[in-house]
Amino acid sequence: MSATERKPAIEPFVISRVFDAPRELVFKAFTEPERLKQWWGPKGFKVVAQSMDLRPGGMYHFELRAADGNTMWARFVYREIAAPERIVYVNSFSDKKGGLTRHPMSLDWPLEMLTTLLFEDVGEGRTKLTVTSIAINESDDERATFDAAHPSLTQGWTGQLDKLDVYLADVKNQKAMV
């Protein structure tokens, strides 16, 4: 690609959900490791190891285990934390030491994605969460893989947000960890 040519604008992935929980609680569910461990990960996976340094430049590094025992590591490198409105991070797969790695099942998956979480108070103790992700520093093949994966991303995030919804309902019902 020459200097005068530009890649077409990549289509960001966007998904939103309204939760029957106050914004501060939904924000804490993403920023307190013991809360995050309760619900994070695709359906069928659970967080089995984690460390969090919640600050710009800090990292959330975690291991996910599938029901069959297989594991994978991932990380978020935080760019912005504006409690309780917004979190911006670069997410990627990683090794046990936190180094960048390829997606374990897709060599053309982007190494890094910029993800923004927006937490909007919609009244009556309810919160709208909007997740926006976009591949960054991607190759043409990675761009094509990301663009083609939007339905799969929708399915994955829907399952993950379902788990968050259950967690928030449990917290609300138990009045625990509020």
For 17-60, what is each residue's pLDDT tens digit? 999 999 999 999 999 999 999 999 988 899 999 999 999 999 99
* Domains contained in the chain, number: 1
Flag whether 167 is in a domain.
Answer: yes
Q: Considering the chain, what percentage of its residues have pLDDT values greater than 90?
A: 86
Give me the residues paired with residue 81 across strands: 87
- Give me 142's structure tokens: 């990675």
State the residue for tokens 């990380």.
Answer: 75
What pTM did the predictor assign? 0.91
Cα–Cα distances in Å, from 158 out to 45, 50, 104, 132, 146?
A: 14, 23, 21, 13, 17
Flag whether 142 is in a domain.
Answer: yes
Flag whether 121 is in a domain.
Answer: yes
Q: Is the pLDDT of residue 141 over 80?
A: yes
Nearest to 149 by CA among 105, 118, 116, 117: 105
Flag whether 53 is in a domain.
Answer: no
pLDDT category of residue 3 using cuts at 50, 70 and 90: very low
- The better pLDDT of the pair 90, 104 is held by 90
Flag whether 63 is in a domain.
Answer: no
Domain of residue 143 covers 13-44+79-92+106-174
Instruction: Specify the pLDDT at position 166.
Output: 96
Average pLDDT over residues 87-102: 96
Flag whether 30 is in a domain.
Answer: yes
- The better pLDDT of the pair 135, 2 is held by 135
As to burial, measured by CB atoms within 10 angstroms (0-12 exposed, 13-18 middle, 19+ buried), residue 91 is middle
> Do 134 and 113 contact (CB within 8 A), yes or no?
yes
- CA 173 to the chain's CA centroid: 25
Give me the residues paired with residue 87 across strands: 81, 117
Flag whether 35 is in a domain.
Answer: yes
Q: Is the pLDDT of residue 81 over 80?
A: yes
CA atoms within 13 A on the CB side of 132: 10
- Put residue 157 in one of left, alpha, beta given phi > 0 → left and psi -120 to 50 → alpha: alpha
133: CATH: 3.30.530.20
Using alpha carbons only, what angle is made at residue 28 by residues 160 and 87, rounded to the nearest 5 degrees?
Answer: 75
Flag whether 118 is in a domain.
Answer: yes
